[in-house]
Chains A and B, each alone.
Chain A
Amino acid sequence: MKSSLIIIVFFTAGIVVGLMMSGSGLSLASGMSSYALHFLLFLIGISVGSDLKVFKILKKLHFKVVLVPVSVIFGTLAGAAAVSYFIQDITLSECLAVGSGFGYYSLSSIYITELRGESLGVIALLSNIIREVITLTAAPLLLALFGKLAPLASGGATSMDTTLPVITRYSGRDYAVIAVFSGTVLTVLVPFMVTFFL
Protein backbone atom coordinates (compact mmCIF):
# COMPACT_ATOMS: atom_id res chain seq x y z
CA MET A 1 0.00 0.00 0.00
CA LYS A 2 2.84 2.36 0.85
CA SER A 3 4.53 1.72 -2.48
CA SER A 4 1.23 2.44 -4.26
CA LEU A 5 1.14 5.82 -2.54
CA ILE A 6 4.70 6.61 -3.66
CA ILE A 7 3.75 5.63 -7.20
CA ILE A 8 0.70 7.92 -7.11
CA VAL A 9 2.94 10.75 -5.83
CA PHE A 10 5.31 10.26 -8.79
CA PHE A 11 2.42 10.11 -11.23
CA THR A 12 0.96 13.31 -9.76
CA ALA A 13 4.36 15.02 -9.87
CA GLY A 14 4.57 14.05 -13.56
CA ILE A 15 1.17 15.65 -14.18
CA VAL A 16 2.24 18.87 -12.45
CA VAL A 17 5.48 19.08 -14.45
CA GLY A 18 3.51 18.23 -17.61
CA LEU A 19 1.02 21.05 -16.91
CA MET A 20 3.92 23.49 -16.72
CA MET A 21 5.65 22.18 -19.85
CA SER A 22 2.43 21.74 -21.83
CA GLY A 23 2.97 20.70 -25.47
CA SER A 24 6.75 20.34 -25.36
CA GLY A 25 6.52 17.65 -22.67
CA LEU A 26 4.66 15.20 -24.88
CA SER A 27 7.41 13.97 -27.22
CA LEU A 28 9.94 13.81 -24.39
CA ALA A 29 7.52 11.77 -22.25
CA SER A 30 6.64 9.23 -24.94
CA GLY A 31 10.31 8.69 -25.85
CA MET A 32 11.40 8.22 -22.25
CA SER A 33 8.46 6.03 -21.25
CA SER A 34 9.22 3.74 -24.19
CA TYR A 35 12.77 3.18 -22.94
CA ALA A 36 11.54 2.68 -19.40
CA LEU A 37 8.91 0.19 -20.60
CA HIS A 38 11.50 -1.95 -22.40
CA PHE A 39 13.71 -1.87 -19.33
CA LEU A 40 10.82 -2.83 -17.04
CA LEU A 41 9.82 -5.78 -19.23
CA PHE A 42 13.45 -6.93 -19.25
CA LEU A 43 13.47 -6.83 -15.43
CA ILE A 44 10.19 -8.76 -15.21
CA GLY A 45 11.74 -11.36 -17.51
CA ILE A 46 14.74 -11.66 -15.19
CA SER A 47 12.57 -12.12 -12.11
CA VAL A 48 10.50 -14.88 -13.73
CA GLY A 49 13.46 -16.57 -15.44
CA SER A 50 15.64 -16.57 -12.33
CA ASP A 51 13.02 -18.06 -10.04
CA LEU A 52 11.36 -21.12 -11.44
CA LYS A 53 9.30 -21.89 -8.32
CA VAL A 54 6.19 -21.29 -10.40
CA PHE A 55 6.83 -24.59 -12.16
CA LYS A 56 7.33 -26.39 -8.84
CA ILE A 57 3.98 -25.06 -7.64
CA LEU A 58 2.39 -26.31 -10.83
CA LYS A 59 3.84 -29.75 -10.26
CA LYS A 60 2.84 -29.91 -6.60
CA LEU A 61 -0.74 -28.72 -6.98
CA HIS A 62 -1.34 -30.58 -10.21
CA PHE A 63 -3.13 -29.26 -13.18
CA LYS A 64 -6.15 -27.79 -11.37
CA VAL A 65 -4.12 -24.75 -10.28
CA VAL A 66 -4.03 -23.65 -13.93
CA LEU A 67 -7.81 -23.19 -13.66
CA VAL A 68 -7.27 -20.29 -11.25
CA PRO A 69 -5.64 -17.76 -13.66
CA VAL A 70 -7.92 -19.08 -16.43
CA SER A 71 -10.98 -18.24 -14.32
CA VAL A 72 -9.52 -14.81 -13.49
CA ILE A 73 -9.05 -14.11 -17.20
CA PHE A 74 -12.58 -15.14 -18.18
CA GLY A 75 -14.18 -13.47 -15.15
CA THR A 76 -12.31 -10.21 -15.73
CA LEU A 77 -13.15 -10.09 -19.43
CA ALA A 78 -16.80 -10.92 -18.73
CA GLY A 79 -16.93 -8.14 -16.13
CA ALA A 80 -15.27 -5.61 -18.44
CA ALA A 81 -17.52 -6.61 -21.35
CA ALA A 82 -20.65 -6.37 -19.20
CA VAL A 83 -20.16 -2.65 -18.54
CA SER A 84 -18.73 -1.68 -21.93
CA TYR A 85 -22.22 -0.91 -23.20
CA PHE A 86 -22.73 1.69 -20.48
CA ILE A 87 -19.37 3.41 -20.85
CA GLN A 88 -19.43 6.07 -23.53
CA ASP A 89 -16.64 6.58 -26.06
CA ILE A 90 -14.91 3.29 -25.29
CA THR A 91 -15.30 0.25 -27.51
CA LEU A 92 -15.74 -3.31 -26.29
CA SER A 93 -12.22 -4.26 -27.32
CA GLU A 94 -10.81 -1.22 -25.50
CA CYS A 95 -12.68 -2.26 -22.34
CA LEU A 96 -11.25 -5.76 -22.68
CA ALA A 97 -7.74 -4.33 -23.14
CA VAL A 98 -8.08 -2.20 -19.99
CA GLY A 99 -9.37 -5.25 -18.08
CA SER A 100 -6.41 -7.26 -19.37
CA GLY A 101 -4.15 -5.17 -17.15
CA PHE A 102 -5.32 -7.45 -14.28
CA GLY A 103 -4.33 -4.76 -11.79
CA TYR A 104 -0.87 -4.35 -13.26
CA TYR A 105 -1.30 -0.62 -13.75
CA SER A 106 2.27 0.46 -14.52
CA LEU A 107 2.71 -1.96 -17.39
CA SER A 108 -0.80 -1.92 -18.86
CA SER A 109 -1.17 1.87 -18.80
CA ILE A 110 2.11 2.53 -20.61
CA TYR A 111 1.29 -0.19 -23.09
CA ILE A 112 -2.19 1.13 -23.80
CA THR A 113 -0.86 4.69 -24.03
CA GLU A 114 1.58 3.53 -26.71
CA LEU A 115 -1.17 1.78 -28.65
CA ARG A 116 -4.21 4.05 -28.18
CA GLY A 117 -3.03 7.36 -26.72
CA GLU A 118 -3.16 9.00 -23.30
CA SER A 119 -6.92 9.04 -22.82
CA LEU A 120 -7.37 5.27 -22.68
CA GLY A 121 -3.97 5.02 -21.00
CA VAL A 122 -5.22 7.10 -18.08
CA ILE A 123 -8.36 4.96 -17.79
CA ALA A 124 -6.12 1.86 -17.74
CA LEU A 125 -3.91 3.39 -15.07
CA LEU A 126 -6.78 4.45 -12.80
CA SER A 127 -8.81 1.31 -13.37
CA ASN A 128 -5.94 -1.00 -12.51
CA ILE A 129 -4.87 1.05 -9.47
CA ILE A 130 -8.49 0.90 -8.28
CA ARG A 131 -8.44 -2.89 -8.77
CA GLU A 132 -5.44 -3.15 -6.48
CA VAL A 133 -6.99 -0.84 -3.89
CA ILE A 134 -10.27 -2.81 -3.95
CA THR A 135 -8.32 -6.03 -3.37
CA LEU A 136 -6.39 -4.53 -0.47
CA THR A 137 -9.46 -3.09 1.23
CA ALA A 138 -12.27 -5.53 0.33
CA ALA A 139 -10.43 -8.86 0.65
CA PRO A 140 -12.49 -10.01 3.67
CA LEU A 141 -15.75 -9.12 1.91
CA LEU A 142 -14.71 -10.92 -1.28
CA LEU A 143 -13.73 -13.95 0.81
CA ALA A 144 -17.13 -14.03 2.52
CA LEU A 145 -19.04 -13.69 -0.74
CA PHE A 146 -17.04 -15.81 -3.18
CA GLY A 147 -14.76 -18.14 -1.19
CA LYS A 148 -11.03 -18.39 -0.57
CA LEU A 149 -9.89 -17.91 -4.15
CA ALA A 150 -11.74 -14.60 -4.47
CA PRO A 151 -9.11 -12.26 -2.90
CA LEU A 152 -6.35 -13.58 -5.16
CA ALA A 153 -8.69 -13.57 -8.17
CA SER A 154 -9.47 -9.93 -7.46
CA GLY A 155 -5.75 -9.20 -7.09
CA GLY A 156 -5.10 -10.53 -10.60
CA ALA A 157 -1.48 -9.94 -11.59
CA THR A 158 -0.76 -8.18 -8.28
CA SER A 159 -1.48 -11.34 -6.26
CA MET A 160 2.20 -12.30 -6.64
CA ASP A 161 3.52 -9.16 -4.90
CA THR A 162 1.61 -6.12 -3.67
CA THR A 163 -1.62 -7.82 -2.62
CA LEU A 164 0.01 -11.09 -1.49
CA PRO A 165 0.20 -10.12 2.22
CA VAL A 166 -3.54 -9.44 2.36
CA ILE A 167 -4.36 -12.64 0.47
CA THR A 168 -2.19 -14.71 2.80
CA ARG A 169 -3.79 -13.12 5.83
CA TYR A 170 -7.40 -13.79 4.85
CA SER A 171 -7.26 -16.92 2.68
CA GLY A 172 -4.38 -18.64 4.50
CA ARG A 173 -0.86 -19.78 3.65
CA ASP A 174 -2.03 -22.57 1.32
CA TYR A 175 -3.51 -19.93 -0.92
CA ALA A 176 -0.36 -17.79 -0.95
CA VAL A 177 1.26 -20.40 -3.21
CA ILE A 178 -1.70 -20.34 -5.57
CA ALA A 179 -1.63 -16.52 -5.49
CA VAL A 180 2.04 -16.45 -6.56
CA PHE A 181 1.33 -18.88 -9.37
CA SER A 182 -1.77 -17.10 -10.65
CA GLY A 183 -0.15 -13.64 -10.32
CA THR A 184 2.95 -14.73 -12.24
CA VAL A 185 0.95 -16.25 -15.08
CA LEU A 186 -1.24 -13.14 -15.38
CA THR A 187 1.77 -10.78 -15.19
CA VAL A 188 3.43 -12.51 -18.12
CA LEU A 189 0.15 -12.52 -20.07
CA VAL A 190 -0.58 -8.79 -19.66
CA PRO A 191 1.45 -7.53 -22.67
CA PHE A 192 0.19 -10.34 -24.91
CA MET A 193 -3.47 -9.86 -24.01
CA VAL A 194 -3.42 -6.07 -24.21
CA THR A 195 -1.86 -6.30 -27.68
CA PHE A 196 -4.39 -8.93 -28.69
CA PHE A 197 -7.35 -6.68 -27.94
CA LEU A 198 -5.99 -3.43 -29.39
Chain B
Amino acid sequence: MGEREPVNSVLVALLLGGLAGYALRERKAVLKHLDRITFYSVLALLFFLGLSVGANDVIVSNLHSLGLKAFVLSVSAVIGSAAASWIVYRFFFGAGDEK
Protein backbone atom coordinates (compact mmCIF):
# COMPACT_ATOMS: atom_id res chain seq x y z
CA MET B 1 0.00 0.00 0.00
CA GLY B 2 1.11 3.54 -0.70
CA GLU B 3 -0.23 6.57 1.09
CA ARG B 4 -2.93 5.83 3.62
CA GLU B 5 -6.11 7.70 2.90
CA PRO B 6 -7.28 10.03 5.67
CA VAL B 7 -10.42 8.14 6.64
CA ASN B 8 -12.24 11.26 7.73
CA SER B 9 -12.48 12.36 4.11
CA VAL B 10 -14.57 9.24 3.43
CA LEU B 11 -16.96 10.15 6.25
CA VAL B 12 -17.16 13.68 4.79
CA ALA B 13 -18.24 12.08 1.50
CA LEU B 14 -20.97 10.18 3.40
CA LEU B 15 -22.17 13.36 5.07
CA LEU B 16 -22.16 15.37 1.82
CA GLY B 17 -24.13 12.56 0.19
CA GLY B 18 -26.70 12.72 3.00
CA LEU B 19 -27.16 16.45 2.50
CA ALA B 20 -27.34 16.06 -1.28
CA GLY B 21 -29.87 13.26 -0.86
CA TYR B 22 -32.02 15.37 1.43
CA ALA B 23 -31.93 18.24 -1.08
CA LEU B 24 -32.82 15.86 -3.92
CA ARG B 25 -35.49 13.90 -2.03
CA GLU B 26 -38.36 15.09 -4.27
CA ARG B 27 -36.43 14.58 -7.51
CA LYS B 28 -37.51 10.99 -8.20
CA ALA B 29 -36.19 11.09 -11.77
CA VAL B 30 -32.65 11.58 -10.47
CA LEU B 31 -32.98 9.14 -7.58
CA LYS B 32 -34.30 6.21 -9.62
CA HIS B 33 -30.82 5.70 -11.11
CA LEU B 34 -29.20 5.56 -7.69
CA ASP B 35 -29.34 1.78 -7.13
CA ARG B 36 -27.84 1.07 -10.53
CA ILE B 37 -25.03 3.61 -10.17
CA THR B 38 -24.31 2.25 -6.66
CA PHE B 39 -24.11 -1.27 -8.04
CA TYR B 40 -21.70 -0.20 -10.81
CA SER B 41 -19.46 1.56 -8.34
CA VAL B 42 -19.47 -1.54 -6.11
CA LEU B 43 -18.36 -3.56 -9.15
CA ALA B 44 -15.56 -1.06 -9.84
CA LEU B 45 -14.48 -1.19 -6.20
CA LEU B 46 -14.37 -4.96 -6.10
CA PHE B 47 -12.49 -5.12 -9.38
CA PHE B 48 -9.78 -2.85 -7.99
CA LEU B 49 -9.73 -4.79 -4.73
CA GLY B 50 -9.23 -7.97 -6.78
CA LEU B 51 -6.48 -6.19 -8.68
CA SER B 52 -4.61 -5.33 -5.51
CA VAL B 53 -5.06 -8.91 -4.25
CA GLY B 54 -3.87 -10.51 -7.49
CA ALA B 55 -0.83 -8.24 -7.71
CA ASN B 56 0.20 -9.20 -4.17
CA ASP B 57 2.17 -12.47 -4.15
CA VAL B 58 1.96 -12.95 -0.38
CA ILE B 59 -1.84 -12.93 -0.46
CA VAL B 60 -2.15 -15.12 -3.54
CA SER B 61 -0.08 -17.87 -1.86
CA ASN B 62 -2.16 -17.65 1.36
CA LEU B 63 -5.64 -17.37 -0.09
CA HIS B 64 -7.01 -20.66 1.30
CA SER B 65 -5.84 -19.97 4.87
CA LEU B 66 -7.33 -16.45 4.68
CA GLY B 67 -10.58 -18.04 3.46
CA LEU B 68 -10.72 -20.44 6.40
CA LYS B 69 -10.18 -17.61 8.90
CA ALA B 70 -12.92 -15.61 7.20
CA PHE B 71 -15.32 -18.57 7.39
CA VAL B 72 -14.73 -19.17 11.12
CA LEU B 73 -15.19 -15.46 11.84
CA SER B 74 -18.45 -15.15 9.95
CA VAL B 75 -20.05 -18.30 11.35
CA SER B 76 -19.28 -17.12 14.88
CA ALA B 77 -20.53 -13.58 14.14
CA VAL B 78 -23.80 -14.94 12.71
CA ILE B 79 -24.41 -17.20 15.72
CA GLY B 80 -23.56 -14.36 18.11
CA SER B 81 -25.90 -11.87 16.46
CA ALA B 82 -28.74 -14.39 16.07
CA ALA B 83 -28.44 -15.36 19.74
CA ALA B 84 -28.42 -11.71 20.84
CA SER B 85 -31.48 -11.01 18.67
CA TRP B 86 -33.24 -13.94 20.33
CA ILE B 87 -32.97 -12.16 23.68
CA VAL B 88 -34.53 -8.99 22.22
CA TYR B 89 -37.17 -11.07 20.44
CA ARG B 90 -38.04 -13.05 23.53
CA PHE B 91 -38.43 -10.04 25.83
CA PHE B 92 -39.56 -7.22 23.54
CA PHE B 93 -41.17 -8.67 20.41
CA GLY B 94 -42.22 -12.30 20.84
CA ALA B 95 -45.40 -12.08 22.89
CA GLY B 96 -47.10 -9.25 20.97
CA ASP B 97 -46.26 -10.30 17.45
CA GLU B 98 -47.11 -13.98 17.51
CA LYS B 99 -50.80 -13.49 16.76
Contact = CB atoms under 8 A, between A and B. Distances in A.
Nearest to B86: A146
Interface of B: 1-2, 4-5, 7, 9-11, 13-25, 31, 34-35, 37-39, 41-60, 62-63, 66-67, 69-90, 92-94, 97
B44 A45 contact: no
Contacts of A46: 17-18, 20-21, 24, 31, 34
A127 B82 contact: no
A123 B66 contact: yes
B80 A82 contact: yes
Contacts of A25: 51-52, 54-55
Interface residues of A, number: 104
A26 B56 contact: yes
B88 A71 contact: yes
Interface string A6-45: 1100111111111111111111111111101111111111
A147 B51 contact: no
Given A43-B37, A126-B71, 10 more contacts: A17-B50, A18-B50, A29-B55, A36-B41, A48-B17, A118-B53, A123-B70, A130-B71, A142-B82, A149-B88
Nearest to A90: B69
A55 B14 CA distance: 18
A183 interface: no
Given A37-B45, A126-B70, A78 B80 contact: yes
Contact of A75 (B22, B37, B80): B80
